Amino acid sequence: MRQNTKHPIKRLSVTVIPMIKPNPNIRHFVPNRLLKTHRNHRCPPRKGAFENRSDFRHAEPLDQVVRGERIGWKMVTHIMLVYWHESRFGTVVLNQMGVAKAWRFSFLSTNLALLQHQNPEDECWRPTSPAKFQHKKSISLSVVCGFMLFGLGLISLLTGHMASDLEWYSQRLIQRTFYSRLDEAYRDPIDVWHSKYTKYYYGCSEKGRHFAPVAREHLSNGYLLIATSGGLNQQRTGITDAVVVARILNATLVVPELDHQSYWKDDSDFINIFDVNWFIAYLAKDVTIVKKVPHKVMRSMEKPPYTMRVPRKSEPEYYVDQVLPILLRRRVLQLTKFDYRLSNNLDDELQKLRCRVNYHALRFTKPIRELGQRLVMKMRKMADRFVAVHLRFEPDMLAFSGCYFGGGEKERRELSEIRKRWTTLPDLSPDGERKRGKCPLSPHEVGLMLRALGFANDTYIYVASGEIYGGDETMQPLKDLFPNIYTKEMLADEELKPFLPFSSRLAAIDYIVCDESDVFVTNNNGNMAKILAGRRRYMGHKRTIRPNAKKLSALLMARNEMDWDTFARKVKACQIGFMGEPDEMRPGRGEFHEYPSSCVCEKPSVDELSKDGYRSFKHITTNLTAKDESVMH
């Protein structure tokens, strides 16, 4: 429903049209019926006289009217102004609004009174009564006109707000209709273990027919060095984007360097975590990758490699305009702190290259893969299906969030001391951050969410985490809700010892188990949560549950004011759209690593009814959206 911003009742100001003389080279037209009215009746036009746009079909040139009928230009201007109001806004609005009609005729009467003094000799406007009476009449008309305009202003204020409220209500009604029909797709209870729509989608990242072949090393524009930043999954995004940037620059990529200086203090290199030979071979047709810059090239360089840091979310054009000239001039270029330095939205071919890197080329080393698979097998032996929960509840993470988790003065003091490590962090309101959904769920809150969604207390859960703030005391409420909880330390005590000094390798093991789980749950929206959510979508839309933190926080704080059934029903309602369904996010929206829409395709039979009678979720939402847009317009 679109608001007519040019509606006369919507506008409080009166526009004064300047009186200009005609251009003799331009022919102006006045409707014949308008002229007839003023010639023959010597009175304001009858009600509805100018409401038919077809009057313009039989019109006389305005310059002839002025010369032949001796009508002043000011009069013609007023006539045209009145006619403009008639033809512009139509009869529907004017007939329905008495104030508008009164304003219209009083405005015309005032103009006619003005013309009496300007053209006293004109027959059409010759006074029919004594001048004294006419003077009093003109004064009374002016007073009436003033009151009418004042009343119009008041009514315009009220009518404007009433119209806005009506349109707002109509929009809400349309949205309510849309979501109520959309809810029919979810009328059946949510299957917490898998989505019934996954059968309609599959991962697709193959290069297109027009994807240009890779340039050989000696024909490239130079060598690109990359220094990543952050934890394992943050560095993973940097490696993925580094390959795409090398493709954009037509550069030879040197195997990226991992971050050894961050909070995790892990000195593992690329070769210790990822299968470097597989990485180079898999991407050989996309980008030329070498393990190091050739000695011949290094010896020929007059200066050391140029180092620079590009802005975050830089567009491909930035790399072509700002980075490529330096690369061509220096032959070797290093980009530092390379995390999220490439735009989220790229063309489909580059997005698919991202998927080939992230979901295929970046394979963990054999020792990490083998241990991760052994942990998965142990979980499968205990239960046919299991849930993996990624708990980010480390002290530094909680301190960085600025949230409060109910630990009293001791918690406030300890987390405040940790926050001093970051001198640029602003002072945050814990209550405000929680209301905005910025706080991670505690282990207890994760357990309440899972039980409310329908997971039984005998569900087997694998917890992927680092150091939990508060230790066993913090984890105990979750264990009370789900006794069958396991960690990598519990499943592989001796086998895990070689990996213990390396946080990134431990994170890689957790990554494998979470990826292979039947359901993946996270208490935050960090890098691992995003990367795994995107990978699980690409690999078949396996159930991935992210908390709707903003609404859940309000529910969790008020849980003591409602019974369990009410709480569970509200949790299920607020989690719709956060359960890993195929079309929870429109293509192109959200973080690409979390929603790789360019790499998820529909199967050919998606528009047909399946054997169980269901249509695809995308088909449902597309049809509903189209219908409601037609209603709105």
Total residues found in the chain within this entry: 633
What pLDDT shows up at residue 585? 77
Q: How confident is the model at residue 144 (pLDDT cuts 50, 70, 90)?
A: confident
Q: How confident is the model at residue 12 (pLDDT cuts 50, 70, 90)?
A: very low
The yes or no reply on domain 384-393+442-607 and CATH 1.10.3470 is no
**Residue listed under structure tokens 């569970």:** 568
CATH code of the domain occupying 217-361: 3.40.50.11340
Q: What is the pLDDT of residues 524-558, one digit of tens each?
A: 988 999 999 999 999 989 999 999 999 999 999 99
- Reported as type and span, the H/E element at residue 203 is strand 201-203
Q: Tokens 């033809």 map to which residue?
A: 87
Check residue 551 and give its pLDDT.
93
Q: How confident is the model at residue 188 (pLDDT cuts 50, 70, 90)?
A: low
- Dihedral Cα 33, 37, 38, 41, nearest 10 deg: 160
**pLDDT of amino acid 604:** 81
pLDDT band at 158 (very low <50, low <70, confident <90, very high): low
The per-residue DSSP string of 279-334 comes to HHHHTTTT--EESS--HHHHHH-SSPPEEE-PPTTB-HHHIIIIIHHHHHHHSEEE
Task: Give residue 525's pLDDT.
Answer: 87
Using alpha carbons, list the distances in angstroms from residue 286 to 208, 212, 574.
12, 9, 42
pLDDT exceeds 90 at position 484: yes
Query: Does pLDDT of 400 surpass 80?
Result: yes
139-148, 479-488, 537-546: segment of lowest average pLDDT: 139-148
Residue 605: which pLDDT band, with cuts at 50, 70 and 90?
Answer: low
* Virtual torsion, Cα 171, 172, 177, 181, nearest 10 deg: 110
User: Is the predicted pLDDT of residue 612 greater than 90, yes or no?
Assistant: no
Place of tokens 């926080």: 553
- Which is higher by pLDDT, 427 or 620? 427
| Gap between the Cα atoms of 79 and 253, Å rounded | 76
Question: CB–CB of 355/598 below 8 Å?
Answer: yes
Residues 6+ apart with CB under 8 A from 83: 30, 31, 34, 50
Residue range 282-312, pLDDT digits in tens:
999 999 999 999 999 999 988 899 999 999 9
Residue 426 is predicted with a pLDDT of 85
Q: Indicate the pLDDT class of residue 409, thresholds 50, 70 and 90.
A: very high
Answer whether residue 131 shows pLDDT above 60: no
Q: What is the pLDDT of residue 538?
A: 96
Handedness of CA 533, 536, 541, 545 (dihedral sign): negative
What pLDDT band is residue 177 in, cutting at 50, 70 and 90? very low
At position 104, the amino acid (one-letter code) is R
Q: How does pLDDT run across 442-475, given as a tens digit for each residue?
A: 999 999 999 999 999 999 999 999 899 999 999 9
Q: Are 231 and 510 in contact (CB under 8 A)?
A: no
Work out the average pLDDT over 8-15.
Answer: 37
pLDDT confidence of residue 382: 98
Q: What is the pLDDT of residue 424?
A: 81
Q: Average per-residue pLDDT in the chain?
A: 77
| Confidence band, pLDDT 50/70/90 cuts, at residue 593 | very high
Q: Provide, rounded to the nearest whole percent, the portion of the chain with pLDDT above 90.
A: 55
- pLDDT tier, 147 (very low <50, low <70, confident <90, very high otherwise): confident
When pLDDT is cut at 50, 70 and 90, the band that residue 189 belongs to is confident
Is it the case that residue 611 has pLDDT exceeding 50?
no
- One fold for both 217-361 and 384-393+442-607? yes
Do 358 and 236 meet the contact criterion of CB atoms below 8 Å apart? yes
Closest alpha carbon to 600 in 614, 581, 615, 613: 581
Cα separation, 282 vs 276, in Å, equals 10
What is residue 386's predicted lDDT score, i.e. its pLDDT?
A: 98
For residue 279, the model assigns a pLDDT of 99
pLDDT tens digits, one per residue of 21-69: 444 444 444 444 444 444 444 444 444 444 444 444 444 444 444 443 4
In the chain, what are the domain boundaries? 8-160, 217-361, 384-393+442-607, 394-439
Among 63-72, 135-144, 240-249, 555-564, the range of highest mean pLDDT:
240-249
CA-wise closest residue to 206 among 286, 279, 275, 289? 286
Find the mean pLDDT for residues 483-512: 96
pLDDT digits (tens, 9 = 90+) for 108-122: 444 444 444 444 444
Scored b (16 or more CB within 10 A) or e, 62-77 reads bbebbeebebeeebbe
